[in-house]
Chain A
Amino acid sequence: MPNEPNITPAQVSEHGLSTDEYNTILNVMGREPNLTELGIFSVMWSEHCSYKSSKHWLKTLPTEAPWVICGPGENAGVVDIGDGKAAIFKMESHNHPSFIEPYQGAATGVGGILRDVFTMGARPIANMNALRFGAPEDPRTRHLVAGVVAGVGGYGNCVGVPTVGGEVNFDAAYNGNILVNAMTVGLADADRIFYSAAAGIGNPVVYVGSKTGRDGIHGATMASAEFDDATEEKRPTVQVGDPFTEKLLIEACLELMATDAIVAIQDMGAAGLTCSSVEMADKGGVGIDLDIDKVPQREAGMTPYEVMLSESQERMLMVLRPGAEAAAKAIFDKWQLDFAVVGRVTDTGRFIGRVNGVEVFDIPVRPLVDQSPEYQRPWVKTPAPMPLAPVTAPMAHMEALQALLGGPDLSSRRWVWEQYDNSVMANTVRKPGGDAAIVRIHGSNRGLAIATDCTPRYCLADPHQGGAQAVAEVWRNLTAVGARPLAITDCLNFGNPERPETMGQFVGCIQGMGEACRSLDFPVVSGNVSLYNETHGQAILPTPAIGGIGVLDDLERYADLALRRSDDHLLLIGESRGHLGQTIYLRQLLQRRDGPPPPVDLATERRTGDFVRSLIADGTVDTCHDLSDGGLLVAGAEMAMAGNIGLDLEGPDDPAFWFGEDQARYLLAVPGSIAASVLQQAEKSRVPARTVGRTGGQALTLNAGAPISLRELRRSHEAWLPDYMQNA
């Protein structure tokens, strides 16, 4: 090992390591590490890679079901979807980089999650995203929205994977920390899944893809700290993406995966070559020797430290069967991608790097992984919210409806999703704008439904209810199109876990999520945690974004929210108690954020959802929308606008009825001839149901009051976001 100066306490702290953590490193090594070794420990033990604050709680989430092929721990979750096919999916955050450099941050977020999915043998078939920005009034918001949306689109469009849906929220709590959560769903043969455990002593370790440059060094460490005034200086830690190379990499990897050359494969994501090598070695219980000088490099003079910590994009690491190198190289040559044998699998259990034969680091693999810190961070339970103070309607209901539909929370997101190619691959059945997107399972008449959701204001008021609600709403979104919900991925975005209040939000959300997952048979199969989303002590709203998938057995039978016929009866399914606490109505029209969020009754949720799904599956119902933000009147208006058919609504003259956000509710539109029978079936299933309106005409009318034309409603609904962005 070359002589190097001693590690100073300042270096330890610059690497985000505590004194205790450094002492553990000294123990593991039995000597002082050199700088490269310190760097390797620091990224492996960063919050981002080690989950040191969250691990304890993540273990409490249910991860199993008969249809789960692979749960958390691999690059992505794998679920059996029948007919010998598997869906592989995951959601991941790219929050910190996207705030610093929105276009590249968002683009590489998409690139990273795509790699997690095709690494496992799947062709990516759909992207989704969940974006959260600061208040519209914040001077940075427009620039961030424009950059993130262009980045998401720029990457996904170029690789040719449709972006089929997502969500966009605004709240002042995200002013200093936006959230960019990207999800990819892929399709694979259930018996052709690729894993990351290295095996076969002496087998070649192969590097493919782009060359390694100096970009993204310390990205994982940056993503594990709060922001301050020096945040701008962190721009060099943001990686630069090249979706063209990613597209070539997908095709080359899938071509190679059709042969029997690959023993193990892992993408290089956070902490790059370090994390991928260590994870592959650890999972296989083997060692890995790397010849760092063999790593394809974009620039001359890179140190081993830089090569090992670079987060350059579009790179993969593989262990090949002996003798498969030439055939594999031919494939990567065809796609004009770098291919280099950079090391061997060993039986030493050590992770050793050499430059021109000279050892530059030597770390035992097991303790590098096993002895990573795990913290039981102190936490305090979030106090129960005060009861809701009385609410007086500030304006007529129809006026309120118009204000909500034309406001930042509920206005149309068309400006966003028209920048995403949603129909490439020619399998998109339901495009953005519905409750869940639907893509056809290639070559079949079956479909996958995909939804993402989370209501952070509920999570802030009551983390437990909010966590449960996020899971329940995704389940409901999938149900509303008729799909059988299968599993979720989670992307847990929170503030600084070293604050007991923030940790309390995290714990509460996890507990609520776990409860909902168990009650709904909806396990977590993959996920990601993003902590330290905080600037100057101002944390984001607790945001456990949930992405879920479900299966549709027959694409002839799914439901859509757009009204299809005149003279349909509009049926409200589920119980309406008129819950106004934490609603959009309260927040936007009364500037109030008080009261508890709507309670989630999981048994009711399940009973109601199963009832609705059975009606769609047997062909009785083809028009359905779940009730969420904004409640009944907003949902009805969305159905009318989407179908360009009007609605006459009738019900109590109470804002809580029209704008309450009670859970486990759906609106169905059915022909008059079967409305009575549907209501009877509901009664038999112990599901409350009532008629609240009739379809027809070109306007929305409430209790025979003055109508609003759909044209007028749509104009205000469609205008807000483009108008806002045009003033950039």
Chain B
Amino acid sequence: MKASVIVFPGSNCDRDIQIALANSIGGPVDMVWHGETEMAKTDLIVLPGGFSFGDYLRCGAMSARSPVMREVVSRAGQGVAVLGICNGFQILLEAGLLPGALLLNAGRNFVCREVNIRVENSQTPFTNRYEQGQVLRIPVAHHDGQYFADADTLAELRARDRIAFRYCGIDGNGDAGGPDYSPANPNGSIDDIAGIFNDRKTVLGLMPHPERAADPVHGGTDGRGLLDSLVSALS
């Protein structure tokens, strides 16, 4: 399997996802500069986390207009898998590959903490290594992660099993299971949505960072399943 990580000016999780993916794939991962207009054949395109273009104008808005994005949108149209993490999710929305918007967190502050997310659809290239309903513990770190969509879009997402992950409590608690009893939903996302698919389940955008829970040294490896799922599906 061949994977490519797009590097925008201001991306800062590009190396992290490159390493985590390389560990899952067992081989190298290409880095592609945002200014490129062509891309070698690839099975997976990743838009990494970070602050591309400094979040100026609107998170992800400028990156969505980078030269390479024309190619990304075209490949996505051909069914190539595209994964957007955090800022990458914001870029996918701005590029029109996923619906809805990511607003300033309801708490108005940047939030970095471990959260629980429930796997809502395990029948996809991104989630086949998880059980339906499995709860994962993965960090979030963002300032603008409050997912919002209008009622029609939400209904569509639900009806087509396009909600990938929801923030949730554990052990029947409504909180995130942390020592401070903070709410399960860290940013006020509508319907507790942490990640969504496109209709074909070939594009995933999510706020949590699976690459930061992919190695025992991180204190948890729940994120690795997402990357391993892609390897299973795309190899």
List chain A positions with a Cβ less than 8 A from chain B.
Answer: 150, 153-154, 157-160, 242-245, 247-248, 335-336, 412, 414, 417-429, 440, 555, 641-642, 644, 714-715, 718
Contact = CB atoms under 8 A, between A and B. Distances in A.
Given A412-B180, A419-B112, A714-B181, A424 B13 contact: yes
Contacts of B71: none
B50, B56, B179, B219 interface centre (most CB from chain A within 10 Å): B179
Contact of A424 (B10, B54, B141, B180): B141
Given A418-B110, A423-B212, 11 more contacts: A157-B141, A158-B51, A244-B54, A247-B54, A335-B9, A424-B13, A424-B212, A426-B13, A426-B212, A429-B219, A718-B180
Contacts of B160: none
B12 A160 contact: yes
B109 interface: yes
B112 A718 contact: no
Given A157-B141, A420-B112, A425 B16 contact: yes
B113 interface: yes
B12 A159 contact: yes
Contact of A421 (B141, B214, B218): B141
Given A419-B109, A419-B112, A158 B54 contact: yes
Nearest to B212: A423
A286 B44 CA distance: 54
B43 interface: no
B179 A718 contact: yes
A718 B10 CA distance: 34
Complex A-B, nearest 5 residue pairs according to Cβ-Cβ distance, in ascending order: A160-B12, A244-B54, A426-B16, A718-B180, A158-B51
B102 interface: no
Contacts of B12: 158-160, 247, 424
B110 A440 contact: no
Contacts of B215: 426
A418 B50 contact: no
Interface in B31-77: 49-51, 53-56
A159 B9 CA distance: 11
Nearest to B209: A423
A160 B13 contact: yes
B111 interface: yes
A157 B110 contact: yes
A158 B16 CA distance: 15
A642 B178 CA distance: 10
A245 B51 CA distance: 11
A319 B13 CA distance: 31
A421 B215 CA distance: 18
A243 B209 CA distance: 21
Contacts of B19: 426
B227 interface: no
B9 A243 contact: no
A419 B143 CA distance: 9
A277 to B, nearest CB: 29
A423 B219 CA distance: 11
Contact of B51 (A150, A157, A336, A422): A157
Given A242-B54, A247-B51, A426 B20 contact: yes
B218 A423 contact: yes
B14 to A, nearest CB: 9
24 contacts: A157-B110, A157-B112, A159-B12, A160-B13, A243-B51, A244-B51, A335-B9, A336-B9, A418-B110, A418-B113, A419-B112, A422-B112, A423-B139, A424-B141, A425-B16, A426-B13, A426-B19, A426-B212, A426-B214, A428-B218, A641-B179, A714-B180, A714-B181, A718-B180
A146 to B, nearest CB: 9
A421 B9 contact: no
A555 B215 CA distance: 12
Contacts of B56: 244
A83 B206 CA distance: 38
B120 interface: no
B10 A248 contact: yes
A424 B16 contact: yes
A158 B87 CA distance: 11
A555 B217 contact: yes
Contacts of A422: 112, 141
Contacts of B228: none
Contacts of A418: 109-113
Given A248-B10, A412-B180, A440-B217, A423 B141 contact: yes
Nearest to B20: A426
A428 B51 CA distance: 19
A154 B219 CA distance: 26
A424 B9 CA distance: 16
B181 A715 contact: yes
B94 interface: no
A164 to B, nearest CB: 11
Contact of A426 (B50, B51, B112, B211): B211
A637 to B, nearest CB: 12
B55 A150 contact: no
A418, A423, A425, A714 interface centre (most CB from chain B within 10 Å): A423
A421 B15 CA distance: 16
B10 A644 contact: no
Contacts of A427: 217
A150, A247, A248, A336 interface centre (most CB from chain B within 10 Å): A247
A158 B55 contact: yes
A154, A424, A428 interface centre (most CB from chain B within 10 Å): A424
Nearest to B141: A421
Interface string B186-223: 00000000000000000000000101101101110000
Nearest to B215: A426
B218 A158 contact: no
A495 to B, nearest CB: 33
Contacts of A159: 12
Contact of A243 (B49, B54, B214): B54
A52 to B, nearest CB: 38
A426 B211 CA distance: 7
Contacts of B217: 427, 429, 440, 555
Interface in B143-174: 143
A421 B109 CA distance: 12
B205 to A, nearest CB: 19
Contacts of B211: 426
Contacts of A715: 181
Interface in B111-126: 111-113
A423 B179 contact: no
A421 B110 CA distance: 8
B12 to A, nearest CB: 3
A72 to B, nearest CB: 31
A617 to B, nearest CB: 18
Nearest to A250: B12
A160 B51 contact: yes
A427 B215 CA distance: 9
B218 A244 contact: no
Nearest to A725: B109
Contacts of A158: 10, 12, 51, 54-55
A27 B214 CA distance: 65
B112 A423 contact: yes
A718 B181 contact: yes
A555 B143 CA distance: 31
Nearest to B11: A160
B144 to A, nearest CB: 12
Given A243-B54, A247-B51, A426 B218 contact: yes
A160 B110 contact: no
Nearest to A157: B110
B42 to A, nearest CB: 22
A153 B112 CA distance: 10
A490 B17 CA distance: 35
B85 to A, nearest CB: 12
A624 to B, nearest CB: 17
Contacts of A419: 109-112
Nearest to A429: B217
Contacts of A247: 9-10, 12, 51, 54
Contacts of B50: 160
